[in-house]
Amino acid sequence: MSALIHDPPEAIFASYLMRLRPGPQVSPEFLAHYLTSPQYWRQISSVTNGIAIPNINGSKLSAIDVPVPPLEEQQRIVAILDDHLSRLDAAAAYLDAARRRAHTQAKAILLSAVPELGEYPAGWQVVTTGEAGQIQLGRQRHPDWHRGSNMRPYLRVANVFEDRIDTTDLMEMHWPESAFQQYRLVPGDVLLNEGQSPELLGRPALYRGDPPEVAFTNTLLRFRARPDVLPEWALLVFRRHMHAGRFRRESRITTNIGHLSASRLKKIEFPIPSLTEQRHLVEKAREDLADLERVTSAISALTRRQSALRRSLLAAAFAGELTSGYEPEEGVA
């Protein structure tokens, strides 16, 4: 690559950036496309340094191979890529718009299931969250507990997503048996993120027994419903509060991270319909959200397909397989 790049000594730019300036025999558009190709990124991945933050120095970058066909052929490849990639870009924009509409619709379903305070139907009880159940902050981690005779798994904020608990990255620490019993989860417990970006603060999930025999740390709050409150209804209320910004209004913001203390959560309003109506509203919201999930799954599949087509197209272009027999549409070349 070094023969293709001119970098005058008087150039000024940030030390964490590198500039590639193609020589006269290389089309800038051709080089820009190549820098997004699988062939280029395979070479990059083989020479990067670092684990948490991969990096590459200028000498290694200069040693990377770049295919350089005649300039006329470069221009032809660029024209073909621009033709196809513009179609993929249009498809990506359509999918992004569809994803945003689906997110808006999910929020509308939750807000419809649990109305705003002041619009609750007659007959609904209105209590505080602290009155609707027991709230507890998880156990604080400590370096002294990284090893011990009673190692047990625990959930933290990284495991708790909206209506989903991710068990792929469980951690363990030593728990005295009395402490483990105090913080041990039982099916029906609702976990909420205590610290999170403001728009996701209070992100809740229902613990349904998987993983078994697990506790939780102080990055999470646990809500355990009283007998006349279904855990699934509590989850629905908390999802509604998160999307409506209700948790955010009660939060304490530090360095762009919101914190929802147990005392603040306890004061937030919590509506309680009859158990029959709770079941009906939970089931209705579940059905509506499941229909929407099928749509979002289809959008995700199409997005993956679009990305795979882009990679295949770029790979073919820089393997010399794209220009043979191609005639661009009128106005493209």
Per-domain boundaries in the chain = 1-68, 70-116+279-333, 125-272
Cβ(155)–Cβ(283) below 8 Å: no
CB 3, CB 26: distance < 8 Å: no
Rounded-to-integer distance, Cα 315 and Cα 256, Å: 40
pLDDT in the model for residue 195? 87
Sites in the chain below the pLDDT cut of 50: 2-15, 326-333
What's the pLDDT at 35? 87
Residue 109 φ then ψ, to 5°: -60, -45
Task: Give the Cα separation of 59 and 54 in Å (integer).
Answer: 16
H or E segment at 311?
Answer: helix 275-317
- The whole-number pLDDT of residue 53 equals 60
In the chain, the amino acid numbered 327 is: E
Sheet holding 195-196, edge to edge: 195-196, 257-259, 252-254
pLDDT of 59: 72
How would you label 85-98 residue by residue, b for 16+ Cβ within 10 Å and e otherwise? beeeeebbeebeeb
Tell me the C-alpha distance between 76 and 317, whole Å: 10
- What is the layout of strands, in order, in the sheet containing 204-206? 133-137, 220-225, 190-193, 204-206
So what's the pLDDT on residue 310?
A: 93
Q: Model's pTM, two decimal places?
A: 0.78
User: Is the CA virtual torsion 10, 12, 15, 17 positive or negative?
Assistant: negative
Q: Which amino acid is at 320?
A: G
Largest CA-CA distance found in the chain, in angstroms, rounded: 79
Q: According to the model, what pLDDT value does residue 12 have?
A: 43
Give the per-residue pLDDT at 46. Answer: 76
Task: Specify the CATH superfamily of domain 125-272.
Answer: DNA methylase specificity domains (3.90.220.20)
Identity (one letter) of the amino acid at 254?
Answer: T
